[in-house]
Amino acid sequence: MSEVGDEIMGKLLNIDSSVMRIMALLADLIILNTLFILTSLPLITIGASLCALQTSLQKILHQNRGSVIKNYFKSFSLNFRQATIFFIILSLLTFILFYDFRLVSYLPLLLSFLMRTAAFILCVFIALASVYGFSYIGRYKNSLKKTVYNILLLSIQNWFQSFFLLIFNGFIIYFSFTSPQALLTMIYFLTFGGFSVINLVNSIMIKQVFDRIERVTH
């Protein structure tokens, strides 16, 4: 019995076993979540932190782990400028969108409809750019203008993944504000690994998009 038990334990603790892979992934997610929170504290660095988090997760999905800490800070420093500018632009557009929604109820019916339509289109653009943008910046080297254009193009061409990402992330935001208890639950979840888990789900879908692009271009 002891020999059988030792054999089972040996298989479980083998570095290539499913159990060890899951444990390694969980450890990486916790480390990345902690790094993301710490590097996002200045707020202005959130864009670079998102880029570093998603780029590190893409490396994990491509089984190119290396050191997650080293990968994170390498991406953070290399993409800091573009990711930060991109984040500031998205933040400004979000502020404009929020301001438009406050004004729209005071406008005449036709103008109100046009403004709501424009606001909805802008909202979808901001959502898709937020989901795809930081992974794209971390993976491809383009100008900011080219990056925005390519994000719009790939989000339309890969409509299924885009739709899933919109629904998935939209549900998380909606759930967070359904009640004070839901908000507290989400804060707890995000603090102890949630940022990494949510971005891992996003990265799995985004990886499908990037892999498809690279198969076509190569």
H helices, E strands: number in the chain: 10, 0
**Tokens encoding 18:** 């499913």
Asked whether 90 and 130 are in contact (CB, 8 A), the reply is yes
Asked whether 37 and 191 are in contact (CB, 8 A), the reply is yes
Q: In this predicted structure, what is the pLDDT of residue 15?
A: 56
Reduced to 3 states (helix: H, G, I; strand: E, B; else coil), residue 45 is: coil
Asked whether 138 and 75 are in contact (CB, 8 A), the reply is yes
Q: In this predicted structure, what is the pLDDT of residue 1?
A: 47
Q: How far apart are CA 77 and CA 58, in angstroms?
A: 17
| Phi and psi at residue 214, to the nearest 5° | -70, -30
Domain ranges within the chain, ordered by starting residue: 2-217
In total, the chain counts a number of residues equal to 218
Q: How far apart are CA 122 and CA 111, in angstroms?
A: 16
Q: In this predicted structure, what is the pLDDT of residue 7?
A: 52
Residues of the chain with pLDDT under 50: 1, 9, 12
Asked whether 140 and 85 are in contact (CB, 8 A), the reply is no
Q: In this predicted structure, what is the pLDDT of residue 167?
A: 97
What's the pTM value of the predicted model, to 2 decimals?
0.88
